[in-house]
Structure 1
C-alpha cells in the first residue's frame, strides 16, 4: 500500500474553486470520452447522511459530522485503451472497467475507485481538503503517527511541466502565459506560490492498494505517477479556464452536468479514443 499527499496550490479562493472544479470535471470528461472508452455517469444526486442512508459510504466521511451533506456521484470508467500495454495483455476481459464513487461534501471530498474483478484486492481512495493557504499545513487529514510516517508529500506547482508528457502541454493551457480577463490573475511567474493573492490549496491524500502477486509494486507506482500527472494537468486547465467558469452559479453548474451526462452517453459510442491517459506509442 502506498500513501501520497499531493498539494496543489492555486491562485483563487476556496469558494471559487468549488465551481471551477465542477465545471472543469465536466469539460475534461468530454475530452476523455470516445471510441468505446470514457466516462459513464450513473448517478449525480444530493445526499444527506443525517436524514437518509441512501448513498451511505462503508465508513463515515468524517467523525465530526461536518461533512455529511453534499453531492454523490457514481461513474463508470471504460479504460480499455487508457492503460499501459502490459496491463492490457494480462488483464482479464471486462477487468478494465472501474467504478468511481464520490461524496463531495465541500470543502471535503472523498473519492473511492474500485474494480468488480479485483474486488477487495484493489482500491484507490482520494480524500481532499480545500484550505485557504499555500500548502503549508502539515496534517489536514488528521492522520495517525503511523500513517504520517508512511505518507509521502508532493507539492504540485501548476507551472512546472516535469511530470507531464509533451502531448499534455498546450499553448492555451499554460499558467505561465495565461492572463484572466475577468480577474486579472496571471500569468504565473517564478515564485508565484509565495506571492499569489488570493490563494488556496487542494490537499489530496491518495491511498492505493493493489494485491496481485508479482505486479503490486509496479502497478501501485504506475498509478501514483499517473495521479501526479492527472492532478497537475487538470489544475493547469482549471486556472486557464478561469474566464469560462468565473461567472457561473451552482445552478449553472448542475445544468451543465446534466447536459454533459447526455453528451457522454452518445459520445462514448462514437469517434476515436480520446484523452490524456491514452498510452503514447
Structure 2
C-alpha cells in the first residue's frame, strides 16, 4: 500500500472552499461527460449516522477514453467503470473508489480535512503512528507546479488570473503561499493499494501520480480561477446546481448508451 498526504494551500477561507469545491465538482463533471465517458450521479442525498451527518453521493465514472486504446480494447466493460462513494461532513470528508472488475484487489480511499492556515499541521487527520511512519507528505502548489502542455488552459492559470469580485491573484511569485490572505489548506490522506504481485508498486505509483495528484492540481487550479463564478453562492444555490447537473449528466449518459446500441 502506498500512502500519501497531499496538502493544497489556497487563498480562500474554509467557508468559501465548501461552496467552491462543490461548484467545481459539478462543473468538471459536466465538462468530462462526453464521447463515451464521464460521470453518472446515482445518489446525492443527506445522510446521518452515529458518527456524523452531511451529504452522501454515489457516482459512476466511465473511463473509456481515459485509458490507452489497447487497454480499453482488451479490458471488459466492468473494468472501465469506477464507483465513487463519498460522505461529505464538511470540513471532513471521506471518499472511497472501487472497480467491480478488480474487486478487493484494488482499493483507493481519500480522507480530507479543511483547515485555516498554511499547511503547518503535521497530523491534521489524527493518523496513528503506523500511518504517520508510512505516509509521504506532498505539498501541491497550484500556481508553480508543472502541468502537462495538453492540460494547460490559460483561463485556469493562477499565475495570470486576477479575480474581479475579490481582487485576489495573480499568484505570480514562488512564495505566494507564505503571504496570501485569506489562506486555508486541504489535507488529503490517500491510501492506494493494488494487490497484484509484480505490478503492485508500479500501479500504486501511477494511481497516486496520475489518478490523484494530477487531478487535484488541475481541479484546484480551476477552482481558484472560477472564483468569480461561485463567489457569493449559497449552499442552497449549490444544491440546485447539483440537481441540474445530475439531470443533465443522466441525459448525456442515456444518449451515449443509445448510440452504442
Q: TM-score range by the shorter chain?
A: over 0.9
Residue 95 of structure 1: SS of its match in structure 2? helix
Q: Taking structure 1 as the reference length, what is the TM-score of the superposition?
A: 0.87
Q: Report the alpha carbon displacement of residue 81 of structure 1 after superposing the two structures with TM.
A: 1.6
Residue 78 of structure 2: SS of its match in structure 1? coil
Q: Name the one with the larger helix percent.
A: 2
2:167 aligns with one of 184, 208, 212? 184
Question: Quick check: 167-176 or 193-202, which moved more?
Answer: 167-176
Q: Report the alpha carbon displacement of residue 263 of structure 1 after superposing the two structures with TM.
A: 1.0
1:224 aligns with one of 181, 202, 208? 208
In the other structure, the counterpart of 2:220 is 235
CA separation of 1:193/1:129 partners in 2, compared to 1, >3 Å: closer, same or farther? Answer: same
Q: Report the alpha carbon displacement of residue 87 of structure 1 after superposing the two structures with TM.
A: 4.2
In the other structure, the counterpart of 2:26 is 26
CA distance in 2, matches of 1:92, 1:267: 22
Q: Report the alpha carbon displacement of residue 31 of structure 1 after superposing the two structures with TM.
A: 0.9
Report Cα offsets for 1:192-220 as digits up to 9, x if no partner: 10001100000011101111233222211
CA distance in 2, matches of 1:25, 1:206: 18
Asked if 2 retains the 8 angstrom alpha-carbon contact of 1:101 and 1:112, the reply is yes
CA distance in 2, matches of 1:208, 1:148: 15
In the other structure, the counterpart of 1:263 is 248
Segments of structure 2 that go 5 or more residues without pairing to the other structure are 257-261
- Note the 1:27-106 alignment, pairs <5 A: 27-50=27-50, 65=51, 68-85=52-69, 87-88=71-72, 91-106=75-90
In the other structure, the counterpart of 2:238 is 253
The number of equivalent residue pairs is 254
2:135 is the alignment partner of 1:122: no
Report Cα offsets for 1:76-133 as digits up to 9, x if no partner: 0111221245643553342111110000000000000011121111110011000101
Asked if 2 retains the 8 angstrom alpha-carbon contact of 1:34 and 1:270, the reply is no
Report Cα offsets for 1:149-203 as digits up to 9, x if no partner: 11011100100242x2112111111101111111111111211100011000000
Alignment RMSD, CA only? 1.5
Asked if 2 retains the 8 angstrom alpha-carbon contact of 1:35 and 1:269, the reply is no
Asked if 1 retains the 8 angstrom alpha-carbon contact of 2:142 and 2:221, the reply is yes
Q: Report the alpha carbon displacement of residue 146 of structure 1 after superposing the two structures with TM.
A: 1.7
Residue 268 of structure 1: SS of its match in structure 2? helix
Asked if 2 retains the 8 angstrom alpha-carbon contact of 1:35 and 1:270, the reply is no
Higher RCO (Cα < 8 Å, 6 or more apart): 1
Q: Taking structure 2 as the reference length, what is the TM-score of the superposition?
A: 0.93
CA distance in 1, matches of 2:232, 2:83: 32
Asked if 1 retains the 8 angstrom alpha-carbon contact of 2:78 and 2:99, the reply is no
CA distance in 1, matches of 2:136, 2:178: 22
CA distance in 1, matches of 2:135, 2:72: 30
In the other structure, the counterpart of 2:148 is 165
Asked if 1 retains the 8 angstrom alpha-carbon contact of 2:61 and 2:83, the reply is yes
CA distance in 2, matches of 1:249, 1:103: 20
